[in-house]
Structure 1
Amino acid sequence: MEDGVFCGVFDGHGRCGQFISKLVRDYLPFMILSHRNALLLGGSDDDDDDPVFSDASSTDGSGRSSPNALAPAQLLEEWREACANAFQAMDKELKLQANVDCNFSGTTAVCAIKQGKDLIIANLGDSRAVLATMSETGYLKAVQLTTDQKPNVPQEAERIKRCNGRVFALKDEPSVLRVWLPDEDCPGLAMARSLGDYRVKRHGVVSEPEVTHRRVAPGDLFIILATDGVWDVLSNEEVVSIVCATPRKQHASKAVAEAAAQRWRTRYPASRVDDCSAVCLFLRDQQD
């Protein structure tokens, strides 16, 4: 789309998680845009002004569209419906993959869609989006744009329990609540929403993302999207500081991932380093 960009981070889990996250990475961006286009085409007689697909070879598209002049509430509602439909369609598509077992495997998805000054964040699972913004007094702060959708969130746990799922922590990690089947001590899913994970879908684990809108403000600098492996060992403020301290912006995401991996090795030397992936979307023109 004109003046548009899509960024996403997808963190797979389970035996087939790496395949599921790659499938979602490759297909979900265009499913979201397709459902958004369908809404626009269905609600407007002037088709020439609707966004169209162009480059389908990456997650960054560059097509033509007219500037979006919708009110924020209407814009958010349209994107919310488009994202919900696309995530549902993606979840159904995964089930059709004959060579990928999605019963106890799945992926998170945190996406940032920027068109002009409008920013849409769609989040599913326990990855996270954080905004770095400068206050009028020159104070840099980190603003968390998403909620980690884990079973320790009361509303998430209540939904799972209503659907006969169980939520409890293991004795050797009492701080980590997990989702379990009604009559089996599996899968121990550490998130309350995901794509895939079909055996727990009937027990309250849903594929509906939380979608929010933000108008980019003059002080907004960049957004970091990252997997829980980053946020488990680095605070929002630490991640923002790492990006700001990186001399060249194209190295910022790698710097965050490397810092998180190093923190894992230092803090948990006997444990495997969790997946640490990050994307940094800069919101202002900056010199490299």
Structure 2
Amino acid sequence: MHSKFAPIISIFSFLLDFDKKKRFQYCRFFSISYGSVCLCVFFSIQGYGCQDDTIFCGVFDGHGQWGHYVAKAVRESLPQQLLCRWQEAVALTSLIDGEKRLGDCQFDLLRQSYLAAAAAVDEELRRSRRLDAVNSGCTALSIVKQGDLMVVANVGDSRAVLATTSDDGDVTAVQLTVDFKPDLPRKSS
């Protein structure tokens, strides 16, 4: 623990609310930080990619001396990087396979676009002279929801949990992600 910095404990919750017709209503982000620097940042974009039925949101929790800068840089870069790669993939698939095939592979297109966008953001951070991205970083949790399709991507120990209502009216929490950290045996090999 660095003596210059007070210990920081972040507890955050990110809430998307949809009406009965599955239309986006609002997004809330709650953050409680104890210490001198809040390392968490978030974004929410309704109508992502100029598509009314698409929402993109994310939470990034920085770590290390430059963690808050890394989290902000990821927040600024990831939406554009993902959109660019997603649109390219959709255009190529439409040209090659036609519109019928496009609907069948939306998840795979978005998954591959996420991976390419994350690699591009990593490269941007690595080349940055403004911060030490080798010894600092951030967890990343983001969600793209388009119509009935929802894709959740995460790195680190940020988690997505879906609150749903059972048939008897009870609210149930469903964990959508698991920790993705290098020290976990199943992820390090």
- Aligned-pair identity in percent equals 40
Counterpart residue number, 2:151? 120
CA offset at residue 7 of structure 1? Answer: 0.9
1:156 paired with 2:187, answer yes
Give the paired residue count: 136
Root-mean-square deviation (CA, aligned residues, Å) is 2.0
Task: Tell which has more relative contact order, 1 or 2 (C-alpha 8 A, sep 6+).
Answer: 1
1:92 paired with 2:142, answer no
TM-score for both structures, normalised by structure 1: 0.45
Name the amino acid aligned to 1:17: G
**Structure 1 residues 105, 152: CA separation in 2 closer, same or farther (over 3 Å shift)?**
closer
Give the distance between the partners of 1:79 and 1:38, measured in 2 at CA: 11
Q: What SS does the corresponding residue of 2:150 show, helix, strand or coil?
A: strand
**Structure 1 residues 99, 38: CA separation in 2 closer, same or farther (over 3 Å shift)?**
same
Q: Quick one: which of 139, 151, 165 aligns to 1:134?
A: 165
Q: What SS does the corresponding residue of 1:119 show, helix, strand or coil?
A: strand
CA offset at residue 45 of structure 1? Answer: 3.1
Q: Deviations over 1:144-196 (max 9, x none)?
A: 00011134533123x2xxxxxxxxxxxxxxxxxxxxxxxxxxxxxxxxxxxxx
Counterpart residue number, 1:28? 78
Q: What SS does the corresponding residue of 1:142 show, helix, strand or coil?
A: strand
Q: Please say which structure displays the higher CA radius of gyration.
A: 1
- 4+ residue stretches of structure 1 with deviation over 2 A? 150-154
Which segments of 5 or more consecutive residues in structure 1 lack a partner in the other structure? 50-67, 160-288
Counterpart residue number, 2:103? 70
Q: What SS does the corresponding residue of 2:178 show, helix, strand or coil?
A: coil
TM-score for both structures, normalised by structure 2: 0.67
1:235-250 alignment, distance < 5 Å: none
Give the distance between the partners of 1:22 and 1:133, measured in 2 at CA: 31
Which segments of 5 or more consecutive residues in structure 2 lack a partner in the other structure? 1-50
Give the distance between the partners of 1:82 and 1:135, measured in 2 at CA: 33
Counterpart residue number, 1:82? 113
Q: What SS does the corresponding residue of 1:44 show, helix, strand or coil?
A: helix
